[in-house]
Amino acid sequence: MVEFTLAIPTYNRAKYLPIILERLRSQVDLENLSWEIIIIDNNSTDDTADVIHSYQAKWDLNCSLNYFLEPEQGVTFARLRAVREAKGQLIAFLDDDNLPAPNWVKEAVNFAQEHPQAGAFGGQIHGAFEVKPPENIERIQGLLAIRERGDKANLYDPINLSLPPGAALVFRKQAWDESIPNKLIFKGRLGKLKVAGDDFELLLHLHKAGWEIWYNPNMHTYHQIPHWRLEKDYLITLARGCGLSIYQLRLINASNWQEPIIFIKIFLNNFRRVLKHIIKYRNKLNNDIVARAEMEFYLSSMLSPFYSLILAM
| Pair 52, 98 in one domain | yes
Domain interval for residue 253: 233-312
Listed in sequence order, the residues at least 6 apart from 229 whose beta carbon sits closer than 8 Å to its beta carbon are: 144, 235
Q: State the average pLDDT over residues 233-261.
A: 96
Task: Quick: pLDDT tens for 119-133.
Answer: 999 999 999 999 999
For residue 258, name the pLDDT band (cuts at 50, 70, 90): very high
Q: Are residues 216 and 239 in the same domain?
A: no
Tell me, what CATH number does 32's domain have?
Answer: 3.90.550.10
Question: How far is the C-alpha of 68 from the C-alpha of 40, rounded, in Å?
Answer: 5
Query: Which pLDDT tens digit goes with each residue over 128-168?
Result: 999 999 999 999 999 999 999 999 999 999 999 999 999 99
**51-103 residue pLDDT tens:** 999 999 999 888 999 999 999 999 999 999 999 999 999 999 999 999 999 99
Give SS3 for 172: strand
How far, CA to CA in Å, does 95 sit from each of 11, 164, 192, 208, 309? 10, 13, 21, 25, 32
Looking at the fold, whether 183 and 284 belong to one and the same domain comes out as no
Given a contact cutoff of 8 angstroms between Cβ atoms, the answer to whether 163 and 145 are in contact is no
Instruction: Please give the tally of structural domains in the chain.
Output: 2
- DSSP character at residue 133: P
Q: Give the list of residues 6+ apart from residue 56 with CB closer than 8 angstroms, or none.
A: 65, 67
The pLDDT tens digits for 50-63 are 999 999 999 988 89
Q: How far apart are CA 235 and CA 246, in angstroms?
A: 17
Say yes or no: 77 and 189 in one domain: yes
pLDDT at 313: 66
81 by Cβ neighbours in 10 Å (0-12 / 13-18 / 19+) ranks as: buried
Question: Which of 197, 230, 263 delimits the end of a domain?
Answer: 230
- Name the amino acid, one letter, at 47: D
223 plus 291 within the same structural domain = no
